Amino acid sequence: MTAKIKIIIVAYVVIITCIVIESTGIFWEKRYNNNTITTGTTAELTQEDNETKEPENPNLDNSGYLSLADDPNAEDALKVNASTEGLIKKTLNYPVRTDCKKVAYLTFDDGPSSSNTPAILDVLNNYGIKATFFVVGKEINSGEDAQRFLKRTVKEGHAIGNHTYAHDYSYLYPNRIINLSNFMADIEKTNESLRNVLGKDFSTRVIRFPGGYWSWEGRTEVRPTIDEKGYAIIDWNALSGDAESSIPKNADQLVARTRQTIDDLGPNADSIVCLMHDTYGKEETVNALPRIIELFKEKGFEFKSIK
């Protein structure tokens, strides 16, 4: 073999070797960048992966109640509180939203009841709407039916608010003054009832004063405690009138009253909390609800719950 042939052979060997080395490097670089490098049987993640990998969430005992962060149908109760309160106090004017949306929050007080809560849930389900239910502790404890409908309310993705345990004005507001000790005791008693039914990890920061927060004296004294505990007070600025008097309204009257309270807010209204009830004796609320929903939709509103 001549020297020239030997040089050619060596050159080919060198070229082939370089190609193999480069291909192998590219392969492993791709494997590395795709985080698929393995050494033996142990998978190794890059530093970036270790920094961004989120820990697994614990399996909470709360009947699957979604947090605000995980619920695409809910809005922040503290923000709803701030806008509604500002509108009531007239320190804010419509529009109050910054996203150019119009949002209605349908809220139902004083349940759960075996007569009207399931019927209201049926209507909401038909429309694909999530609402907020302000429940009363003594109603939760009234029997298995109420507890079953409370669980159904959570299962179907609605928000739960605390409306005190007994809804007793004389206990909560003696001489029309909020009694902080009694009020907080009632709130905690209802929290306990909710945990007993929905699971030990259930919690809600959404509360509503029976009769409305602004109806009572002593607000300045109690507000720091409520704020410190992280509760969001949710009042309303529209209503169906299903609890306005001792003479019940029929469905037509409830729809008309809702329209009036919406129109009273003016053409720029873009955030409305509407008060209704799902307790016993509110069958006309059930009958009016589809038309109330259509009324909001005609005015360009979408619907959210409050958490």
Phi-psi region of 176 (alpha: psi -120 to 50; beta: other; left: phi over 0): left
Three-point CA angle 179, 84, 290, nearest 5°: 105
DSSP 74: E
At 204, list the tokens: 């809600």
Residue 180 scores a pLDDT above 60 = yes
| Contact predicate 139/282, CB 8 Å | no
Q: List C-alpha distances in Å: 63 to 34, 35, 60, 157.
A: 38, 36, 8, 11
Q: Per-residue pLDDT averaged across 89-101, rounded?
A: 97
Q: What is this structure's pTM?
A: 0.82
At residue 109, the 3 state secondary structure works out as strand
Radius of gyration of the chain (CA): 30
Q: What is the pLDDT of residues 51-85, one digit of tens each?
A: 444 444 568 999 999 999 999 999 999 999 999 99
Residue 301 scores a pLDDT above 60 = yes
Q: Per-residue pLDDT averaged across 274-284, rounded?
A: 98
Residues 109, 277: Cα–Cα separation, whole Å = 5
Q: Per-residue pLDDT averaged across 95-103, rounded?
A: 98
Nearest C-alpha neighbor of 120 from the set 141, 143, 149, 91: 149
pLDDT for position 245: 86
Residues 208, 230: Cα–Cα separation, whole Å = 13
Mean pLDDT across the chain = 87
The residue that leads in pLDDT, 43 or 272, is 272
Residues 13, 10: Cα–Cα separation, whole Å = 5
Residue 23 scores a pLDDT above 60 = no
Among 11-15, 23-27, 38-42, the minimum mean pLDDT is found in 38-42
Which helix (H) or strand (E) segment is 17 a member of?
Answer: helix 3-33
Q: What is the pLDDT of residues 241-265, one digit of tens each?
A: 999 988 999 999 999 999 999 999 9
At 45, list the tokens: 């993640």
Residues 306, 275: Cα–Cα separation, whole Å = 13
| Contact predicate 271/103, CB 8 Å | yes
| Contact predicate 276/108, CB 8 Å | yes
Among 57-66, 73-82, 115-124, 228-237, the minimum mean pLDDT is found in 57-66
Q: What percent of the chain has pLDDT over 70?
A: 81
Residue 210 scores a pLDDT above 70 = yes
Which residue type does 75 have?
A: E
Q: Per-residue pLDDT averaged across 121-141, rounded?
A: 98
pLDDT for position 246: 85
Among 9-23, 82-96, 182-196, the minimum mean pLDDT is found in 9-23
Residue 213 scores a pLDDT above 70 = yes
Q: Per-residue pLDDT averaged across 193-207, rounded?
A: 98
Residue 296 scores a pLDDT above 50 = yes
Q: Are β-strands 305-306 and 74-75 bridged in parallel, bridged antiparallel, or unpaired?
A: parallel
| Contact predicate 199/205, CB 8 Å | no
| Contact predicate 295/258, CB 8 Å | yes
